[in-house]
Amino acid sequence: MRPAALAPLLALVAATLAPPATAQEAPPEAQAAPAQAPSGAPGAAAAPRDVISLDGAVRAALEHQPRLRQALATTEAAGARTDQARAPLLPQVDLEGQVGRRGGSTRSAVGGTSAASGLGLSTSTTTWSAGASARQALVDVQQIERWRSAGASAEAQRATARATEQQIVAQVRSAWFAARAARDLVQVSQDSLANQEAHLRQVEAFVEVGTRPAIDLAQARADRANAQVALIRAGNDYVVTRAQLVQAMGADRAADFDLGDGALSAVPGEEGPVDPLLAEALAARPELAALGSQARSDVLSRDAARAGWLPTLSAGAAVTGVGPAVNELDRGWNATVTLGWSIFQGGLTRAQTREAEANLAATEAQTDALRQQVRVEVEQARAAVQAARAALDAAGEALVNARERLRLAEGRYQAGAGSIIELGDAQVAATSAAAQRVQAEQSVSSARAQLLLALGRAVR
């Protein structure tokens, strides 16, 4: 690709993908801040753009993520089912009013003749009635256990919603760190391209005066072209990772923003033994709390099924009025106490009990499996943090030495003691080391986000 054709594209990359020189904390959605191209990047400074920080991305996800809204709605529905199960245990009051009209015909004797030869007479009457009744369950063990079981299920759903919230926050954090790494890699590519441009100018000057062969100029131009391709790819990766961040936030907006500040500090205990971390995770993980509540619900469901063999006792009272007109009602009342006992239901109670016991066994097995999974997740996350921190230290040392190697190679080339190949290799090594350090920083932050998720630490 010719340099003249690449110039507009590189200017666009610098203007739209370069992070701002300074970025302030953004509100939950975003905050306007000027975006400036880093030094050495082609193109002019971009117009003011939104800046999203790590905390801003998390707040946006907690407000807009559809998965979290769905979990909260499901929790609300579970609470409503608890109220429905309690309703039969509360007083039941009914009011009723009715008006009816009834008609027919009768035969009567006329002029001393028999009724068989009489004329038919049409008659009709209107009847008004009204009543009020109240019922109250006095003893209904089965319904009480159903109510308690529904309450335990609602608590399980609330814990599941908390787990969903923590998973969403971890995903947003990982997406934000990936986007920031892509942004920093754009900076690395811009710095590499700027350095290649400077090398090209030097080589052109040396070739022009005849101190370097023409092949050096061809090599320098190839190195610059490769740096341009790397910048374009880095810019595209930044666009993609920002779009993935928008999806993780659940926001309905374009991915035309820059990233602000944000970091995860060291997790207490990340360098210590695993047993304290495991104990914390087993006590705090909402998934385990959800299964614990579900197990209680299964026990109560079993008790409710067994209560099908027990009698029920209820009381009721009613007042009524019946008459030909609203103001001529004959009033009455009644009161009842009802004892009910289902002696045989075709094996229904026994089958319901078996089902509840099987559900309880399945929940207990699921809990044991989750406890094992939590142990593995905590150990993996802790090991990942430690490995990422060690890799970050090594990447930092490699970058220092790569930059020193590039400085020495540039000096040797200018003095005529080094070759263009040596200089190009040193530039590639410096760029690779810078990219490796960016990725190591992203790995540390992402590993800490996963460790926080494995520990079940609260996000609010």
Average pLDDT value over all residues in the chain: 85
265-290 b/e (C-beta count within 10 Å ≥ 16 → b)? eebeebeeeeeebbebbbeebbbbbb
Provide the 10 A C-beta neighbour count for residue 81.
15
Checking if the pLDDT of 178 tops 80, the result is yes
User: Distance between CA 50 and CA 30 in Å, rounded?
Assistant: 6
- Domain boundaries defined on the chain: 3-85+142-306+348-455
Token pair for 372: 């094992």
d(CA 75, CA 158): 6
Rounded Cα distance between 318 and 331, Å, is 11
- Indicate the SS3 state at residue 35: coil
Select from 3.40.50.620, 1.10.287.610, 1.20.1600.10, 3.40.47.10 the CATH code of 3-85+142-306+348-455: 1.20.1600.10
Q: Is 285 helix (H, G, I), strand (E, B) or coil?
A: coil
Q: How many residues does the chain have?
A: 460
Give the full edge-to-edge strand order of the sheet including 119-139. 92-108, 119-139, 312-323, 330-340
What mean pLDDT comes out for the span 260-288? Answer: 91
Q: Which residues pair with 103 in a beta bridge?
A: 124
Average the pLDDT over 395-422 and give the result: 92
pLDDT score, position 33: 34
Residues 272/273/276/280 CA torsion (nearest 10 deg): 70
d(CA 53, CA 42): 26
Q: Are 184 and 395 in contact (CB under 8 A)?
A: no
Give the model's confidence band at 47: pLDDT under 50 very low, under 70 low, under 90 confident, else very high: low
CA 77 to chain centre: 18
What is the chain's alpha carbon radius of gyration, rounded to the nearest angstrom? 39
pLDDT digits (tens, 9 = 90+) for 188-211: 999 999 999 999 999 999 999 888
47: left (phi over 0), alpha (psi -120 to 50) or beta: beta
The pTM is what?
A: 0.80
DSSP 29: S
E strand or H helix that includes residue 354: helix 348-415
Contact predicate 21/36, CB 8 Å: yes
pLDDT digits (tens, 9 = 90+) for 355-391: 999 999 999 999 999 999 999 999 999 999 999 999 9
Question: Helices 66-86 & 54-64, crossing angle to 10 degrees?
Answer: 40
Q: Is residue 99's pLDDT more than 70?
A: yes
